[in-house]
Structure 1
Amino acid sequence: MENSPFTVERLLQLPVFRGSEIMAGHAGIAKEIYYISSVEMPDLTGFLRPNELIITTGYAFRHEPMLLCRLLDEMHRIGSSAIGIKTRRVIQEVPAEALYKSNLYGIPLFDIPLENSFIDMTHAVIDQVLQRQAFLLREVREVNQQFTNLVLNRRTTELVVLIGNMLACEAAVLKEDGEIESATSQFDVRQIQQKRPIQVGSRVMGYLAISRELKEQERFEQMCLDHAVTVLAIDFTIRQSQQLQREREQESFLVELFSGSAHQEDLLRYRAKQLGISLRQYHYVIVMRVQSKVEMAQKERDEQLAQVYHLLLQKLNKPGVHARKGVVINDSLLVLCSSAFAEADKQKADAEALMRELALLQEEFSAQWQLAVGIGGAREHLADVPASSREAYKAIAVGAKTRPKQEMVHYHEILVEDLLLDNTGHPVLAALTSMLIEPLVRYDEEYGTELLATLGAFLQSGGNTKRVAEEMFIHRNSVLYRLERIGEILQTDLNDPEVRFRLDVAMRVWKTQGVDIHSFE
């Protein structure tokens, strides 16, 4: 009988309860009993437990029989199972209201013969409860073993199905964000009645959801649910450990790749594939640099900067196989990208899509930080990726000087500047800036004008004076006047294509002054 619940009905079949008769509350004879207490004190509250059997001589009610009604109220509130009274010992008659409440609450109220010993009854009940508890523990141990074996063999879906079968409901494991990871065939999130958190340490990694609310008396089912949550926590721990190990291996691979220390293409591709890094025909690098907008102490800056990069990496390096993987190296976030296209505009479109993904995250720190993005040229071989990363760094550094309003710069946009940087200090370039740029710089300093800025906007717009006026927020006639004055100072004709070419080269040389060409090596 140990495999069946120990109910009030079974209780009254025990030899030590022979002769007991139910006076009221017959509807509750199926209630299960977990505990037994003898009550002889007038204080009737604060000690009762759910599914508890109360036995008494009625001594506490001898002067005030209506206290029995209060005890029934408290038993109903707590969820106790039944009450037995030796009615012919102290009280001769049970109040009619107590019988009414017994029937109302479905709490069996039975008469115990005077000759029945409380000690014998208590021992018999405890023996039955312990037998039942031992059986449940054996059953739960077997269930826990099944759960553990399924988790260790990475068969989470079968585990969820087993849970559903045991609890006679639909079940699912949900990720931290509520996304369904595995579920029984008929599971619907709208059916969720109970959801238990799956914790690893103090962090909630997911949830075990079921489509019905377990009752408190369903002890076996509750214990199965507890064990399921425990083993799922183990599963999440294993996966978290594997993911962390994979991330460390990916980070190590990327650092090695960007450093240029590995050159065997076949080996690089094999390792990338093993680490879940998607490879297409072309590879290029995006470099992101987070820069502070406000003054702060070095320690505070370093701590906050590390946090910002961590958030960016979390968003970027989602688990799974993706065409982008990032790593932080020397205060920069380097992203290895794979693409089916070699064109710069396609790469820039991909980078813009990435920035849109990070847009919400950027909003969180945009008040204190700004993001500068450089994109390197595409390469067919992984071994050539370091060259793309150097180009991305150049795009950031040169773009900051030549395109300060542009957050994202592709290397192909600064090809001419790169060529000029390779020839830094050349006499011809020095002569061009001396003749065509420095006179305007001196004039602006002396008279507080913006002739050099106007010339730069004019050259960059291809000679479109309307666009220059819009960019500088001045009237077009002012633009024409300034261009005329520039021509007079330089003694040149700005409409001459040859003059414009020389001015453009000189302007690019001037803007790239101060760029450290050795920092890209």
Structure 2
Amino acid sequence: MKLNDLLNLPVFEGATLTAGNQGIEREVHTVNMMDAPDIIHFLKKNDLLITTAFHFKDDLDSLLILIREMEKQGCSGLGIKTKRFLEEIPEAAITLANELDFPLIELPVHTSLGDIVNQSLSYILDVRTNELHHAMQTHQLFTKYVISGQGIDKIVERLSSLIKFPVVLLNSHLRPVRNQVKNTSIDNLEKMLVNGYSFHFPKATMSSFSMVNETRETVTLFPVYTHNEQSSYLAVLGFIPPSNRSTILTVEQASNVIAFELMKENALKQHSRRLQNEFFTNFINGTFSTYEEVISRGREFGLNNEQRYICTVGDIVDEEKTISYLRSQSENELIYEAIEFEIQSFHQTVHIFTIDHSYIFLLELNDTWKNIEQSFLSLLTNIQSKLHTHFRANISFGISNYAEQLKQVPISYKEARDALYYGNMLGKKQFIEIYQPKEVTEILRMVPIDQLKKFYTDTFQAFANESKKDYQDLLHTLSVYLESHCQISEAAKRLYVHRNTIIYRLEKCEEIIGRSLKEPDETLRLRLAFRIKALLQGNH
């Protein structure tokens, strides 16, 4: 409670605030009565000390030191009973207290210090008891909403009614996650977060800030701690003073109940995701015994047999262009939720699955691909931007041709995988590659696998004597060079290296294979070998 509220108690009748008027709204958590010389060592923040000043009657310097130390520790104020050991509060003490805005109270001689302590503590305890009782009631109210199935939306709505401010539930990236009010300040939070602003400190129970836009609106954030490493937030569109404990406790109770509800929802989502991912994995791998079983199981997950689909596969890769497996489970969940959040706003239905560390989208094609291609590519580009911004993750996508029916989806999945592979082979970074039919690949599929392996081995056998790093660099450079139509400048651009580096590596390749890369037959042989490599890897 505030000091000015405490001074209004009858027991403080006749008391005078002689200095530190600016500190009259300081918080008071407890009242102490002590006359020990080393009294400062027993005081804490928000303590109000009352004393007879016995030890300071002949030692003004010690009184000034006490005032300074109490101010440093954040104490609420100092009450001195005059007309006993001090006839009046020294002018030097009043001057210092005014400089520090530290409340200095003159207590009347007729009032017992014991009565002041007892009645003050009793009043503070009553206030705290009422606050806790109110907190228990609100907690029971919010819990009742959850038990009755009304859920988080009802809690947020009721919380807003109780505290008289609009309330919005935000995810870890400060984006609204439910049926929320439209608000300019909320819309700008994510953009500001991306630009490096911090809105909440880990040890703080709440944080308030004012927007610098034309609204000058104040937003108060309360963290909602769940299973995730990053918390969600309840955003109150208004300023809640730290001294308003009743309102703060009300929001905290809502936060606690919402946290449990979010964890329950997450557990259900995880179970549902696991089932649909198991179905899709078995479907792609041809595990189901009959196609009727595929149709039946697919219907459980909203997949219609007669629906046309576009399949998209996304992989998150590290700087070495290998799939990243080092992210924690909680971070992978956050990435999945971020992708899901972006897809929810798309105008066509998109089903999400995961296999290992890949993200698979099945886009229901209810229009021509030409009519929705740009909007879908914009969606994927936006997902790339969001993941890079919030997780420093680079995701690339391969897109298939459309499947006429559900049973053709495994073929589309393979096409999307091939498009992703060829994009990586071309040295691209964070790309979107659309599958193009590879007639040569289809012809190569007709050749016995053993002969393909022998052709591939014979072609690159000479490179085997090189170190592992040189072997990889040379073959990758050679592949990109051939895919760039033997244009050195284009290959250098795709590999982010100087063209002289490309020339050096190509000369090294010619030295190893003993033939010129300008010979058409040799470049054809190498192109076929690289195509065979992709084909062999796709069969594993």
TM-score range relative to shorter protein: 0.5 to 0.7
* Structure-2 change in CA distance of 1:517 and 1:83 (3 Å): closer
322-331 or 237-246, which deviates more:
322-331
* Alignment partner of 1:93 is 2:61: no
Q: Distance in 2 between matches of 1:50 and 1:350?
A: 58
**Aligned twin of 1:10:** 9
Find 1:356's aligned residue among 376, 381, 385: 381
Contact 2:77 2:102 in 1 (8 A): no
From the superposition, tell whether residues 342 and 161 of structure 1 become closer, same or farther in structure 2 (CA, over 3 Å).
closer
> How many angstroms apart in 1 are the aligned matches of 2:526 and 2:321?
31
- In the aligned structure 1, how far is the partner of 2:92 from the partner of 2:488? 95
**Cα gap change, 1:169/1:79 in structure 2, threshold over 3 Å: closer, same or farther?**
farther
Counterpart amino acid of 1:176? Answer: S
Q: Residue 409 of structure 2: SS of its match in structure 1?
A: helix
Distance 1:10 1:75 in 2: 23
Equivalent residue for 2:15?
A: 22
RMSD value over aligned CA atoms? 5.5
Q: Which residue of 1 aligns with 2:139?
A: 144
8 Å CA contact 1:342–1:378 kept in 2: the answer is no
Alignment partner, residue 258 of structure 1: 284
Shift of 1:137: 1.7
SS at match of 2:221: strand
Which residue matches 1:443?
none
Contact 2:400/2:434, CA 8 A, preserved across alignment? yes
Letter of the 1:263 partner, please give it.
Answer: Y
Distance 1:257 1:70, change over 3 A: same
C-alpha distance in 2 between matches for 1:99 and 1:38: 20
1:331–1:469 Cα change, 3 Å: closer
Q: Tell me if the contact between 1:7 and 1:30 (Cα under 8 Å) persists in the aligned partners.
A: no
Greater Cα offset, 192-201 or 508-517: 508-517
Match runs of 1:116-155 below 5 Å: 118-119=113-114, 121-151=116-146, 153-155=149-151
Task: Give the aligned residue type for 2:268.
Answer: Q
Q: Per-residue displacement from partner, 1:101-152 (whole Å, max 9, x unpaired)? A: 7787565422132xx6555554444333333322222122112222333455
Distance in 2 (CA, whole Å) between partners of 1:33 and 1:242 is: 45
Partner of 1:177: 173
Counterpart of 1:38 (choices 20, 33, 54) is 33
Contact 2:11 2:119 in 1 (8 A): no
Quote the offset at 1:376 in angstroms.
4.1
**1:178 Cα deviation (Å)?**
1.7
Deviations 1:381-420 (CA, angstroms, capped at 9, x unpaired)? 21332233345556678x699x9689877666224642x3
> 2:180, 2:326 → 1: CA distance?
40
Confirm whether residue 271 of structure 1 aligns to residue 304 of structure 2.
Answer: no
Paired letter, 2:405: H
CA contact (8 A) 1:144 1:227 kept: yes
Q: In structure 2, how many angstroms separate the alpha carbons of the residues matched to 1:48 and 1:287?
A: 63
2:438 is matched by which residue type in structure 1?
I
Question: 1:285 maps to which residue?
Answer: 311
Identify the residue that residue 221 of structure 1 maps to in structure 2.
247
Distance 1:231 1:414, change over 3 A: same
CA distance in 2, matches of 1:234, 1:187: 29
Distance 1:227 1:414, change over 3 A: same
Query: Which residue does the alignment assign to 2:266?
Result: 240
1:65-464 to 2 correspondence within 5 Å?
A: 65=60, 67-68=62-63, 71=66, 78-80=74-76, 83-85=79-81, 87-96=82-91, 98=93, 107-113=104-110, 118-119=113-114, 121-151=116-146, 153-181=149-177, 188-189=185-186, 190=211, 191-201=217-227, 203-260=229-286, 261=288, 263-264=291-292, 267-273=296-302, 281-287=307-313, 303=325, 316-318=339-341, 321=344, 323-329=349-355, 334-341=360-367, 353=378, 356-357=381-382, 359-360=384-385, 373=398, 375-392=399-416, 413-415=437-439, 417-418=441-442, 420-421=443-444, 423-424=446-447
> 1:40 Cα shift?
0.9
Over residues 12-50 of structure 1, what are the superposed CA-to-partner deviations in whole Å (9 max), with x where a residue is unaligned?
Answer: 17xxxxxx6324449799987542211213346454445
Q: Residues of 1 paired with 2:317 and 2:26: CA distance?
A: 68
Offset of 1:218 from its aligned partner? 2.8
Distance 1:369 1:175 in 2: 21
> TM-score, normalized by length of structure 1?
0.62
Indicate the structure (1 or 2) with the bigger Cα radius of gyration.
1
Q: 3-state DSSP class of the match of 1:63?
A: coil
Instruction: Check 1:8–1:31 CA distance in 2 against 1; reply closer, same or farther (3 A cut).
Output: farther
Q: Distance in 2 between matches of 1:254 and 1:284?
A: 15
Does structure 2 conserve the Cα–Cα contact (< 8 Å) formed by 1:171 and 1:210?
yes
**Structure 1: segments with no counterpart, 5+ residues:** 14-19, 434-452, 462-466, 474-484, 490-503
| Cα shift at 1:305 | 9.8
Q: Which runs of 5+ in 2 are unaligned?
A: 187-210, 212-216, 456-477, 493-518
Measure, in 1, the Cα distance between the counterparts of 2:112 and 2:439: 101
Match of 1:60 in 2: 55
CA distance in structure 1 between the aligned counterparts of 2:317 and 2:184, rounded to whole angstroms: 48
Match of 2:204 in 1: none
Q: Please tell me the residue identity of whatever aligns with 1:381.
A: Q
- CA drift of 1:8 comes to 2.1
- CA contact 2:317–2:324 (8 Å) conserved in 1: no
Q: 1:215 to 1:49 in 2, by over 3 A?
A: farther
- Whether the aligned pair in 1 keeps the contact of 2:305 and 2:406 (CA below 8 Å) is no
Cα contact 2:32–2:47 (8 A) shared by 1: yes
Shift of the 81–170 alpha-carbon distance from structure 1 to 2, 3 Å rule, reads: farther
Q: So what's the TM-score if we normalise by structure 2?
A: 0.60
Of the structure 1 ranges 234-243 and 355-364, higher mean CA displacement relative to structure 2 is found in 355-364
Number of matched pairs = 435
